[in-house]
Amino acid sequence: MNMSDLLNQRHSCRAFLDKPVPTETLEQIFELAQRAPSNCNVQPWQTLVVSGEQKDALSQALVNAVMQQQPPNPDFNWAIAYQNEHRERQFGSANALYGALGIAREDKRARQMAMLRNWQFFDAPHVAIFTMDKYLDIMGAVDMGIYAQNLSLIMQEHGVSNCMQGALGQFPDPIREMFGLPDERGVLFGMSFGYADPDAPANQARTTREDLKTNVQFF
Ligand SMILES: Cc1cc2nc3c(=O)[nH]c(=O)nc-3n(C[C@H](O)[C@H](O)[C@H](O)COP(=O)(O)O)c2cc1C
């Protein structure tokens, strides 16, 4: 697949087959993603790739944190209340997902349960947790986003689907504890990945994009 095909066909995947990605493929994907550019080539990403029983234990710990209604305590200040057109687009993406899942707008409980799927990693066989040193702040986060998109596209080239998840940065404590992260390291976000279940309702959701002129001005 060429880059245009990869970009046109990529979409977030929220239902996976129970089939792990071979270790050799995982290593190829994460090796190539290292080619990402970063400011001054600092390469801030410290990635935890978690699979198997440890992934299940991590999911359980995160679900427990959510179910205990602990307030989110992200390591980075990203809990934004979107405004204006951003809020409209946020609703648009939520409606695409809930529409595909057949969840009505007013069905708060079903929406909460759908949200919980984030911390169950949508039953993906693998999850990548993206951490970086906290002091790197916004420029580090820029680098991390570029790295994550590299990963996403390389995965797709291997037929591996994924969903980037800000939700995985909301409750860093269980992650910190399980992997012994030092205090100076922060959990930014994560990505569940594996082979897509093509028939799952969640994977029928598609989002739209604005017209070019809304976002780009040529001078
Ligand atoms: C940084 C980032 C964080 C995201 N966080 C979540 C998340 O926590 N849960 C989720 O289901 N999707 C999450 N997404 C996926 C977006 O909702 C999705 O990319 C967007 O709606 C566009 O849809 P598409 O990826 O299918 O093109 C995230 C995407 C990005 C880039």
Write the pLDDT tens digit of every residue in 163-213. 999 999 999 999 999 999 999 999 999 999 999 999 999 999 999 999 999
Q: Is this model's pTM higher than 0.85 or not?
A: yes
Which listed CATH number (3.40.720.10, 1.10.3720.10, 2.40.50.100, 3.40.109.10) goes with 3-78+119-205?
3.40.109.10
Kindly give the distance from the C-alpha atom of residue 165 to the centroid of ligand 1, in angstroms, as a whole number.
6
Cβ atoms 48, 174 nearer than 8 A? no
Of the pLDDT bands very low, low, confident and very high (cuts 50, 70, 90), residue 125 is very high
- Can you list the alpha helix ranges (DSSP code H) found in 68-136? 84-101, 108-116
- Can you list the alpha helix ranges (DSSP code H) found in 137-203? 137-157, 172-179
pLDDT at position 46 is: 98
Distance CA 170, CA 5 (A): 33
pLDDT at position 176 is: 98
pLDDT at position 32 is: 98
Ligand 1: nearest atom to the Cα of 168: 8
Q: 163 forms bridges with which residues in the sheet? A: 192
pLDDT at position 70 is: 84
Mutate to test the pocket of ligand 1, among 10, 164, 168 (most ligand atoms within 8 A of CB): 164
CB atoms inside a 10 Å sphere around CB 127: 26
Q: In what order do the strands lie in the sheet with 126-133?
A: 46-51, 126-133, 185-194, 161-165
Kindly give the distance from the C-alpha atom of residue 213 to the centroid of ligand 1, in angstroms, as a whole number.
23
Of the pLDDT bands very low, low, confident and very high (cuts 50, 70, 90), residue 78 is confident
